[in-house]
Amino acid sequence: MDAVTNTVAISCALVVVLCAWKMVNMVWVRPKKLEKLLRNQGFKGNKYKFLFGDMKEFSMMIKQSKSKHINIDDEDEVLPHVVAFTHQSLQKYGRSFITWMGWEPRVAIMDPEMIKDVLMKLNDFQKTRSNPLLKYLATGLVTYEGDQWAKHRKLINPAFHVEKLKNMVPAFHLSCSEMIGKWEKEISSNGSCELDVWPYIQALTSDVISRTAFGSSYQEGIRIFQLIREQSVYAMEAVMSLYIPGSRFLPTKRNRKMKAIDHEVRNSIKSIIHNKLKAMKAGEGNYDDLLGIMLESNSKVVEQNQNQSHGMTIYEVIEECKLFYFAGQETTSSLLVWTMILLAKHQEWQSRAREEVLSVLGDQNIDIDGLNHLKVVNMIFHEVLRLYPSFTQLARKTVKDITLGGFSLPSGIQIALPIMLIHYDEQLWGSDANKFKPERFSEGISKATKNQVIYFPFGWGPRICIGQNFALLEAKIALAMILQKFSFELSPSYVHAPNIVLSLQPQYGAQLILQKL
């Protein structure tokens, strides 16, 4: 009996020792080894701080930025306000710097050729496995890798084909008309009014997603959008804090709330999917919305291969729908609101855009062929996305020991592609990099970038955002219709405070003076 007891005790002790060693290795031994390896190759950054790395300073600087606003006329203030910590690291340590996401080192890459390699070589550089709590916001195509990503991309691609997007133009037009109708009701007898356009733009892009993705309206999907916005705030809190493995299972207030929101969103989307499938089986309704096209594509693949594994499960369809709701609304609303703010400031470009819209489209009609000829509007959108991209950074992770631009990076190293720092970089864009100058795109993106990978607001390469054309078409229709009806300028009450809530948003709204034309 004593022998058995001793054996059990020794086994338990060994398990405890092994677990302790694994923990010590994870939070101290490995980070210090990697720090030495990276510093020997020329990477600079703060010294590794036990457990938290740079997370405390990172979070503190975000909170400081949220408590301030900046002068819209001082372009030099934008980077220190929006991406304070990474901008400080660049200023302090140069173009090859390390930041510590807890005990994980993240190397920043700003060389165009290295960026190209990272975004092209999908088998060498994959998405980082971030805080598991973020899965409650969205997973799907944006997080998948390998065969699963390829399968989903193939199944979803038909929904974003240019011919399918053309069929969605009436839905875009209807949603925009309803928003403009609300604005016209706000106009006073003198033909003008002050209006915070930000909530209207959020409602517009949400309505468009409801109509084009699910064949419903914003009012029907309003609860889902409210929940996803609430989830975005919790997700941002999670990004700003250190994640301890296993802590997502603890019954904390945030964990419980995120789980409850996810449960409600899933059930709502599941109901929409079942209603759509029921209508499809009965031969009712149409398949022109994104969900219908995706389900039809999925069904065809399963039938052709006589195998369910070639298609998506209901769980996977729900995840893609969550992604439609989140990414489809966030990207376009961010682009539109910053476009209106910058055109309100730069009246000469607003006038040029309006002249082009009226010349090409007239003062009433919106047609797809005419939209393709709006060169000035395209230039403006490209420049807005350069200065105020919806998302300010991409991250990848090495999946094996690899050489990148002369650096030897071991497996598991995180790589940051700081979109906003690169978009503002004077070495890449010239001394006027922080200025709003749409003319730099007058001959297209390739000419403006000199064929370098230095402009990627929607990502780049095989994993470029599948909804890019959808977002740009929606934004183009909305801006054209606004320019046909109104001129606008910044209100004295507008406070310039670009703020990251996963996407880049105006913290205090977008107060403009609208003038009816």
Residue with tokens 């994870």: 26
Assess if residue 62 is contained within a domain: no
- Separation CA 328–CA 330 (nearest Å): 6
In a domain? residue 98 = no
How far, in Å, CA of 474 to CA of 418, rounded?
A: 26
pLDDT-based confidence at residue 334 (cuts at 50, 70, 90): very high
Cα gap 305→299, rounded to integer Å: 10
* Residues linked to residue 498 through DSSP beta bridges, in sequence order: 506
> Is the separation of the CB atoms in 481 and 200 below 8 Å?
no
CB 314 within 8 A of CB 270: yes
Which two tokens mark 449?
């970038």
pLDDT at 220: 67
Mean of all residue pLDDT scores within the chain = 90
**C-alpha–C-alpha distance, residues 215 and 504, integer Å:** 28
- Higher-pLDDT residue of 215 and 37 is 37
The answer to whether the CB of 255 falls within 8 A of the CB of 132 is no
CA 162 to chain centre: 22
Looking at residue 311, the DSSP 8-state letter turns out to be S
Which pLDDT belongs to residue 57? 94
Query: Tokens 């780049």, residue?
Result: 460
In a domain, 86, yes or no: no
Average pLDDT over residues 395-412: 94
d(CA 267, CA 263) in angstroms, rounded, equals: 6
The pLDDT of residue 381: 98
Residues 6 or more apart whose Cβ sits within 8 Å of residue 156: 141, 294, 297, 320, 466
Residue 55 located in a structural domain? no
Instruction: Tokens for 288, please give them.
Output: 């022109």
Mean pLDDT across 271-298: 80
Residue with tokens 């092209």: 120
What pLDDT does residue 285 have? 63
Name residue, tokens 């995120």: 258
State how far the alpha carbon of 444 is from the alpha carbons of 123, 139, 330, 398, 453, in Å: 30, 33, 25, 32, 14
Distances (CA, A) of 99 to 59, 78, 410: 13, 21, 16
The two beta strands, 503-506 and 414-417, are: unpaired
pLDDT at 306 over 80: no
The Cα 472–Cα 474 span in angstroms is: 5
Structurally, how many domains does the chain consist of? 1
Low-confidence winner among 78-82, 298-302, 403-407 (lowest mean pLDDT): 298-302
How many Å apart are CA 118 and CA 461, to the nearest integer?
9
> pLDDT: is 305 or 508 the higher one?
508
DSSP secondary structure letters along 3-23: HHHHHHHHHHHHHHHHHHHHH
Residue set of the binding site for heme: 465
Average pLDDT of the segment spanning 43-68: 93
User: Structure tokens of 244?
Assistant: 């301890």
Q: Tokens representing 498?
A: 């670009």
- Give the CATH number for residue 154: 1.10.630.10
Q: Which of 177-181, 278-282, 319-323, 500-504 has the highest mean pLDDT?
A: 177-181
Residue with tokens 């003198």: 190
Tokens of 255: 């964990």
Would 113 be classed as within a structural domain? yes
pLDDT band at 477 (very low <50, low <70, confident <90, very high): very high
The alpha carbon dihedral of 497, 202, 317, 301 has a sign of negative
**Per-residue model confidence (pLDDT) at position 445:** 96
Could you list the residues known to form a binding site, using ranges: 465
Distance CA 117, CA 341 (A): 35
Nearest to 393 by CA among 184, 67, 109: 109
Q: Please compute the mean of the pLDDT values over residues 423-450 and round it to a whole number.
A: 97
pLDDT bin (cut points 50, 70, 90) of residue 90 is very high
Query: Is 77 within a domain?
Result: no
Kindly state the average pLDDT of the residues 390-403. 95
CA dihedral 271, 276, 279, 281 (to 10 degrees): -110
Q: Which has the higher per-residue pLDDT, 366 or 119?
A: 119
Q: Report phi then psi at 500, rounded to 5.
A: -85, 115
Q: How far apart are CA 348 and CA 346, in angstroms?
A: 6
pLDDT of amino acid 339: 98
Yes or no: say if 424 and 79 are a contact pair by the CB < 8 Å rule: yes
Q: Is residue 444 part of a domain?
A: yes
286 pLDDT tier (thresholds 50, 70, 90)? low
Segment among 99-108, 278-287, 463-472 with least mean pLDDT: 278-287
CB 481 within 8 A of CB 163: no
Residue 1 pLDDT > 60, yes or no? Answer: no
Which contacts (CB < 8 Å, 24+ apart) does range 458-461 have? 458/331, 458/385, 459/119, 459/394, 460/115, 460/116, 460/119, 461/116, 461/119, 461/120, 461/122
Site of tokens 């989140």: 326
Question: Would strands 486-490 and 402-404 be described as parallel, antiparallel, or unpaired?
Answer: unpaired
Residue 162 lies in a domain: yes
Query: Whole domain around residue 299: which residue ranges?
Result: 109-516
Per cent of the chain over pLDDT 90 is 61
> How high is the pLDDT of residue 133?
85
CB–CB of 137/239 below 8 Å?
A: no
Half-sphere exposure of 216 (CA within 13 A, CB side): 19
Residue 336 contacts residue 346 (beta carbons within 8 Å): no
Contact yes or no for 328/355 (Cβ under 8 A): no
pLDDT at 287: 66
Model-wide pTM > 0.85: yes
pLDDT of 515 higher than 80: yes
Q: pLDDT tens digit string along 109-151?
A: 999 999 999 999 999 999 987 788 888 888 888 888 999 999 8
Helix boundaries (H) for 241-289: 253-281
Q: What is the pLDDT of residue 217?
A: 61
